[in-house]
Amino acid sequence: MPRFAYVNGRYVPHGDAAVHIEDRGFQFADGVYEVVSIHRGRLVDEAGHLDRLERSLNELRLQAPMTRRALALVMRELIRRNRLHNGLIYLQITRGVAPRDFKFPKGVAPTLVMTTKRNARAPAATLRDDEGVSVVSIPDIRWKRRDIKTVALLPQALGKQQAADAGAFEAWQVDDDGNVTEGCSSNAWIVTKDGVLVTRPATNDILNGITRRSVLAIAAREGYEFQERPFSVAEAQEAREAFLTSATTYVTPITRIDGQPVANGHPGSLSSALRGHYVAFAESDRAELYIAG
């Protein structure tokens, strides 16, 4: 079956999809993106992702290429053309094509591209109930506006490779105070010995994950105690549980940090319960649960 991409108003074969060499996304990382999970044909947390996309565009003074309603229609048409059941859709908007100059060009139309990726199984099914993943800690070397979902991802790419070289699933980035900010493509969580959920507050230090917001909403709904505060690598290693959240991995237990097992080295009961709640939410008729703001 042919695979299609969307480029500036046209659905084209994926292998033929291209943008100009002077696109500012290519030359300056002058663009933003979003990744939305597709679970059994449903766009999970679509409203939250589109809200964040609009915020990122505004923060970079970037023009939206079309209305939100039109964007949603294009997303669905691309999913339909690719006959996607489980997977993800990637959206990228850049400032457009212009002669290379640091200053913003005038009268230039933004570039919009979309691609999809198929997963044979939904993210919830990629791990057994008794499995978890490992993370390594690395210095956080990113810029100071991590709350904007830009395409400037070189530090994260370096971190992901460092994790892969160590045989780990993800890298937790650590600030100058020794506290975990977030993963390279995920938010970081722990469960204290007292059973309290902890994740870093949503400031400019992290990207406020849409899955993160939904998990906080689930925790509030289920009556789980949670705190939004920094935590150190040492505290995480001594925690009862640890896990990560993202649009592509949902809620994923962490069982080793820097080679050291978390608790007994198996997924904990709270992270497993949250994973179950999130999967149920993703499969529900109304897959929108994030906390606005």
Indicate if 149 belongs to the active site.
yes
Number of H helices, E strands in the chain: 7, 15
118: exposed, middle or buried (Cβ count in 10 Å: 0-12, 13-18, 19+): middle
CA angle 287, 93, 111 (to 5 degrees): 135
User: Smallest Cα–Cα separation from 147: which of 232, 210, 226, 63?
Assistant: 210
Q: Which of 103, 106, 117, 149 is catalytic?
A: 149
CA distances in angstroms from 33 to 51, 70, 95, 242, listed in the order given: 12, 17, 12, 27
Using CB atoms within 10 Å of the CB of residue 254, give its burial: 0 to 12 exposed, 13 to 18 middle, 19+ buried. Answer: buried
The residue type found at 55 is R
* Bridging pattern class, strands 87-94 and 111-118: antiparallel
SS3 content of the chain, % helix, strand, coil (to 5): 30, 30, 45
Alpha carbon distances (Å) from 150 to 141, 190, 240, 275? 15, 26, 34, 28
Q: Which residues are tagged catalytic?
A: 149
